[in-house]
Amino acid sequence: MEAQAPTGVASLGKTSSPTALEIPGVLTVHDLSTLLGADPIDVIKQLMRIGQMLTLNDVVEYETASLIAQSFGFPVKPTEEAQRGTGSLVISPDEEEEAHLEPRPPVVTILGHVDHGKTTLLDAIRNTNTVAGEVGGITQHIGAYQVLFKETPITFLDTPGHEAFTAMRARGARVTDFAVLVVAADDGIMPQTVEAIDHVKAAGVPLIAVINKIDRPDADQDRIKRQLAEHDLLIEEWGGDVISVPVSALKGEGVSDLLENITVLAEVSNLRANPHRLARGVVVEARVDKSRGPVATVLVQTGTLRVGDNVVAGEVRGRVRAMLNDQAESIKRAGPSKPVEILGISGLPEAGDTFSAVSDEKTAREMAEKRIRERLAESGQGSGVSLEEIYSRLESGEVTALDLILKTDVQGTVDAVRTALAHLNTETTRVNLIHAASGSITESDVLLAVASKAIIIGFSTRPEPGAATLANQQAVDIRSYDIIYELVDDVEKALKGLLAPVTKDVVEGIATVRAVFGLGRGMKAAGIYVNNGIISRGAQIHVLRNDRRVFAGPVSSLKHFKDDVREIRAGLEGGIVVEGFQDYAEGDILESHVTEQSE
């Protein structure tokens, strides 16, 4: 085997970029993530995937380090010493990637409670700082924009709020480098602020606190600082490490301080990417434009995207016909952290889908097809976890904490349940409440559960209808209780692997839509033919079009000729109305799902 001598030791300073990295025989998780230029959280997650539960200061064996490095796209060549088992590993980054890494602008998301000033702040930032040379362009809301602050570009995602943030994360996309938490100084920390804090913490993203509306006569900055401290966010002024910036978004005061802090944080975080490769990134949003066809806003994360590039975005492919920036100006190329609208794709990818530029059309087609096949193979499995799965992962040592999202009827019970659950912690396993609040179970809770592989526990509260459907689609385990003892008992059993069997999702039948009927007042029914199995009244119907699920919801009416029936069997025709869905098209496939007890 060819051995390559180390040509340098990793230095992540901005000035020198050696062509290869030397990984010592013994190194910690922290050292490894520094060498890879990767977020330690991502490295820890990757380690978890191969069954190793390590923390930042734990030592990684170099065989493991090698595997992890490969999973980050670094081909690995061992040194002679490494082959002898004594020395170090040399990792030659992809296409000498390391040598080409350059600083890239930070990508920032703004979160906070409704009416605390997120939109006003986004507007203030955008108005005071338009990227030089682009003045005069029309401001276009494309889902993200870039400003120039003292020569340093900063990218902002302009869909504020943690729902969008977590929805992307639930799809596996890590987009945001820093989160800006907006708290109105006259109002203080509110339920959605707490939710945003929990979502940011679960994502492991650094947070900057903005104390907004300081121009208001009833603004009380100290109160906000105290409240932040109560949520484990101790600001720098008080000896903590959370940057806080007082701002009046309305008057534009403090906005440059905020931008200054973001640039400083970016510098110490050493954000880098390689602009000299084919682009890779994430879809921020996508829509169909009447005259231009499908348009997607993508955020380039590494590489440079050029007009004419073949691309794959999610399951959609195409060739970039034109690119527009956030000023609606046509541009020819977009480097790392640049958001651009691209034209020329064949369909609509989803927000959070990954996109890549590839060398030719054939590769683009093959990649898109592969993704479709993978999704179909996974369909129905969802991406959530169940309490039972958590137990087996606890047992195998893959995880040591049971991550829970707790929703209760009133705030008082949050604390009661929290205390009761804390008693279950042992030396080896721990209950980790990543979010606990009062109120019904929302879609945002379900997305957080998907993104964090957590279970949702409801105490005297229920899921909202949309949340129940989403949880069903994503196979997120929602458990509802009305008696604290039962709740605690189930969690304890889960920790000990003694949980009673629960349910699983089973497809009981498949039908094809052959005709669409109007029922008056805009209501529609589908005339169906049942191809196999049965379609029954109590089922959840998944509507599939072009192999994609476009909707899922319960049966609201099922007829055979004029009669209401409980089920329709294979080979028969009938009429169906799926609750909440009107958009049937001939040729749609209806999959009928029911819940069964699993062994």
Query: Judged by CB under 6 A, which of 171, 213, 272, 542 binds ligand GDP?
Result: 213
* Residue ranges in 296-402 assigned as alpha helix (H): 361-378, 387-395
Using CB under 6 A as the binding rule, whether residue 415 contacts ligand GDP is answered as no
Residue with tokens 């880098």: 272
Using CB under 6 A as the binding rule, whether residue 248 contacts ligand GDP is answered as yes
Query: Judged by CB under 6 A, which of 17, 36, 104, 116 binds ligand GDP?
Result: 116
Using CB under 6 A as the binding rule, whether residue 301 contacts ligand GDP is answered as no
Quick one: 117 or 384, whose CB is closer to ligand GDP?
Answer: 117
Instruction: Count interface residues toward ligand GDP (CB under 6 A).
Output: 16
Using CB under 6 A as the binding rule, whether residue 193 contacts ligand GDP is answered as no
For the record, the structure tokens of 203 come out as 């994502």
Quick one: 124 or 510, whose CB is closer to ligand GDP?
Answer: 124
Using CB under 6 A as the binding rule, whether residue 256 contacts ligand GDP is answered as no
219 contacts 188 by C-beta, under 8 angstroms: no
> What separation in angstroms does the CA of 95 have from each of 15, 91, 273, 312, 354?
20, 11, 13, 21, 21
Quick one: 248 or 301, whose CB is closer to ligand GDP?
Answer: 248
SS3 7: coil
Report the first-to-last Cα separation within the chain, whole angstroms: 50
Quick one: 214 or 406, whose CB is closer to ligand GDP?
Answer: 214
Buried b (16+ CB within 10 A) or exposed e, 168-204: bbbbebbbbbbbbbbbbbbbbbbebbbbbbbbbbbbe
> Which span sits near ligand GDP by CB under 6 A: 25-33, 68-76, 108-116, 279-287?
108-116
Using CB under 6 A as the binding rule, whether residue 118 contacts ligand GDP is answered as yes
Using CB under 6 A as the binding rule, whether residue 191 contacts ligand GDP is answered as no
Quick one: 118 or 542, whose CB is closer to ligand GDP?
Answer: 118
CB of 251 to ligand GDP, least distance (A): 6
> Which span sits near ligand GDP by CB under 6 A: 247-255, 371-379, 401-409, 510-518?
247-255
> Which span sits near ligand GDP by CB under 6 A: 109-117, 340-348, 477-485, 506-514?
109-117
Quick one: 174 or 216, whose CB is closer to ligand GDP?
Answer: 216
Closest listed residue to residue 565, CA positions, set 586, 540, 537, 534: 537
Say how many C-beta atoms besides its own lie within 10 A of residue 560's C-beta: 15
Query: Judged by CB under 6 A, which of 87, 117, 339, 347 binds ligand GDP?
Result: 117
Using CB under 6 A as the binding rule, whether residue 249 contacts ligand GDP is answered as yes
> Which span sits near ligand GDP by CB under 6 A: 55-63, 117-125, 224-232, 386-394?
117-125
Quick one: 124 or 499, whose CB is closer to ligand GDP?
Answer: 124
Query: Judged by CB under 6 A, which of 120, 327, 469, 540 binds ligand GDP?
Result: 120
Please name the helix (run of DSSP H) or strand (run of DSSP E) that holds residue 450, with its range, or none: helix 443-452
DSSP result, 175-225: --SEEEEEEETTT---HHHHHHHHHHHHHT--EEEEEE-TTSTT--HHHHH
DSSP single-letter state for residue 418: H
Quick one: 167 or 436, whose CB is closer to ligand GDP?
Answer: 167
Please name the helix (run of DSSP H) or strand (run of DSSP E) that holds residue 436, with its range, or none: strand 430-438
CB of 195 to ligand GDP, least distance (A): 13
Using CB under 6 A as the binding rule, whether residue 114 contacts ligand GDP is answered as yes
For the record, the structure tokens of 475 come out as 């196979």
DSSP result, 26-84: EEEHHHHHHHHT--HHHHHHHHHHTT----TTSEEEHHHHHHHHHHTT--EEE-HHHHH
What span, in angstroms and rounded, lies between the C-alpha atoms of 136 and 154? 19
Query: Judged by CB under 6 A, which of 63, 115, 486, 583 binds ligand GDP?
Result: 115
In the range 144-163, which residues lie near ligand GDP by CB under 6 A?
160
CB of 175 to ligand GDP, least distance (A): 19
Residues in contact with ligand GDP by CB under 6 A are 112, 114-120, 160, 212-213, 215-216, 248-250
